[in-house]
Structure 1
Amino acid sequence: MQQNQSYRFSVAPMMDWTDRHCRAFHRVLTRRALLYTEMVTTGAVLFGPRDRLLGFDAGEHPVALQLGGSEPDALARAAAIGADFGYDEINLNCGCPSDRVQNGAFGACLMREPELVAEGVAAMKAAVSIPVTVKCRIGVDDQEPREALWAMAQAVRNAGADALIVHARKAWLKGLSPKENRDVPPLDYAIVHALKRDFPNMQISINGGIRSMDETLEQLRHLDGVMVGREAYQNPGMLLDVDPLLFGEAAPVDDGFEALAVYEPYIAARLAEGIKLSDMTRHLLGLFAGMPGARLWRRHLAMEGVKRGAGLETLHAALAHVERGSERYVAA
């Protein structure tokens, strides 16, 4: 199967992190990475404030909407709404282990119900013309990954899923918090590689613990795509290497300073709409990671950016702490 280049690199959906302001900033750093929304439940899409929950800037493309839910009809209707909003992909969350999703019987709980997931995928595929994908774990609790993950892959492939993204850890629904579930269960990259060997014609990406472009390139020797989460958020300068190393194209900007100059009009426009500076600058704290002045940059934004009336002058004052001419962040 010819690889779909849009899945080659993506930034993971992360609750409370990958909102529209974050995505607008990440798009300044890479034109090609596929960006994801935070998970939005089908109930919120169907009955909540859609413009606030689903609205995004056209400059964010390519961007995917991640849905949380398990009822096929609701998934189909929510997917259709997402497609009408202009999203490039609909993704079904089968990996989140939070109490919220457990109470709603979706997220990682769906690892136990691959046929229900397949019904949801088929319903969404019938409702939209854009790709429908699934993000899952290698298993939950005492499941045997060789059984659970293979059953999920088989089911969603047969239902017409366009890609499967695998977080290469189990989710422990009993005994671990959502935060612990991101670190404590051991990573098992080899099992995802084995899955790809057994499903060679299926688009399969890997997620979990990938912290550099070297690691990304190594994973791409075995798989179709890599999804990076916390590292891309906490060290966003990493994204400056995505387009050159993975797509053979120049980065949109040369460094963090130029990135801020390009992003500043977006901040100004949102400030004029009444959005707080900190809603945007919280996504910038790690931009100068490892550079002289980075700690003072973070401190200034964290302390001053939350104050009433904080504006661009606060951003400029924080930037003054960073030493110009120092090397930009490059993932080793």
Structure 2
Amino acid sequence: MELDTHATLSVAPMMDWTDRHCRAFHRVMSRRTLLYTEMVTAAALVRGGAVHLLDFDAAEHPVALQLGGSDPLELARATALAVERGYAEVNLNVGCPSDRVQSGHFGAVLMEQPDLVARCVAEMINAAGDVPVTVKCRIGVDDQTPEEVLPDFLARIRDAGVRRVTVHARKAWLQGLSPKENRDIPPLDYELVYRMATAFPDLHLSINGGITTLDEVAGHLRHMKGVMVGRAAYHDPAAILMRADTRIFGAESDPCPTRHDAVLAMVPHIEAHLDAGGKLGQVTRHMLGTFAGQPGARGWRRTLSEGATRPGAGIDVLHEALSCVTEAAA
């Protein structure tokens, strides 16, 4: 399957959340959805030598690396490292509004420097070979007028060689709002992003922001080539991912008929992690929302979160927590 087809639905890169254990869990529920890493800074890889941040399991594919940075040559070197390790895509972050990211001069602040972004992606594309380089951006920042800024931004990065872009349909306010507030307070402008999809038919544009159900995903796909889901896919992953392969990608079946099946499918991954000296909670913290809205969900969360902190906690904690919910939970 072409990567653009996988990008029909993707799970957003989310700091402290979309690590390799989270991606392993999402992958057991959907074989087709495109998954992203947490953002990794190019400087950490190139200057800091932190190449362990690129570790992932082949079972996670298709998986994309998101990079943060604004130095074209440094981003190119980081892209080359990602390609060497087998990532299916390298994505440039032009959307994160946090103070730390701004001080490093990357993320959403780059919406103000489209020429620099174009130089960055051009160098990344040169380093990537056949691996696609993509961008995730906002509709604008601060006092910019999105109707003017966004089409100009998209045209510049398209002319630099980018063919796939995810647009978070909100402005980012770099001063006065926290990163959390920037995910909720600026109003969503889906219609503007829809107009960009019409204006740039040669681009594969995905829409992101405030999307919480698979029904909403299907609705957006009437206007867009792709949809990216963030927090909803983390807090209630089964609601987004467990039926995605059949409903969104047209597969004949989904890999896990029930949420119980999804939990049990994680047992080999958890056992391998424990055998390697890892802690149970490093994996199960990403599974607390498995039964969101289902009978027994509170007992599942409590048993799993409390049990995972016990010294030497093992797979028995998972089975104990699973006994709190009925096997019919779908």
Query: TM-score interval w.r.t. the shorter chain?
Result: over 0.9
Residue pairs, 1:139-154, within 5 angstroms: 139-154=140-155
Unaligned segments of structure 2, at least 5 residues: none
Match of 2:265 among 258, 262, 283: 262
Residue pairs, 1:1-332, within 5 angstroms: 4-48=4-48, 50-129=50-129, 130-238=131-239, 239-249=241-251, 250-326=253-329, 328=330
% identical aligned pairs: 56
**Offset at 1:51?**
4.5
**Offset at 1:262?**
1.4
> In structure 1, how many angstroms separate the alpha carbons of the residues matched to 2:50 and 2:185?
35
Secondary structure in 1 aligned to 2:37?
Answer: strand
User: Does the CA-based 8 Å contact 1:29-1:259 persist in structure 2?
Assistant: yes
- Specify the code of the residue in structure 1 equivalent to 2:249: F
> In structure 2, how many angstroms separate the alpha carbons of the residues matched to 1:245 and 1:48?
43
- Specify the code of the residue in structure 2 equivalent to 1:245: R
Q: CA RMSD in A?
A: 1.2
User: Does the CA-based 8 Å contact 1:10-1:227 persist in structure 2?
Assistant: yes
Q: What whole-Å deviation, never above 9, does each CA across 1:274-313 have from its counterpart, x for those lacking one?
A: 1111110011011111111001101111222122211111
**Offset at 1:247?**
1.2
User: Does the CA-based 8 Å contact 2:45-2:51 persist in structure 1?
Assistant: no
- In 2 relative to 1, CA 3–252 (structure 1 residues): closer, same or farther, beyond 3 Å? closer
So what's the TM-score if we normalise by structure 1?
0.96
> In structure 2, how many angstroms separate the alpha carbons of the residues matched to 1:3 and 1:198?
22
Q: What whole-Å deviation, never above 9, does each CA across 1:39-98 have from its counterpart, x for those lacking one?
A: 000011113354431100000000000000001000100000000010000000000001
**Offset at 1:150?**
1.2
**Offset at 1:3?**
9.6
- Specify the code of the residue in structure 1 equivalent to 2:248: L
> In structure 2, how many angstroms separate the alpha carbons of the residues matched to 1:139 and 1:308?
48
> In structure 2, how many angstroms separate the alpha carbons of the residues matched to 1:33 and 1:3?
10
Secondary structure in 2 aligned to 1:306?
Answer: coil
> In structure 2, how many angstroms separate the alpha carbons of the residues matched to 1:135 and 1:37?
13
Secondary structure in 2 aligned to 1:10?
Answer: strand
> In structure 2, how many angstroms separate the alpha carbons of the residues matched to 1:307 and 1:12?
31
Q: What whole-Å deviation, never above 9, does each CA across 1:130-169 have from its counterpart, x for those lacking one?
A: 0000000000111100122112101110000120100000
> In structure 2, how many angstroms separate the alpha carbons of the residues matched to 1:26 and 1:160?
30
User: Does the CA-based 8 Å contact 2:194-2:223 persist in structure 1?
Assistant: yes
**Offset at 1:248?**
1.3
Secondary structure in 1 aligned to 2:80?
Answer: helix
Unaligned segments of structure 1, at least 5 residues: none
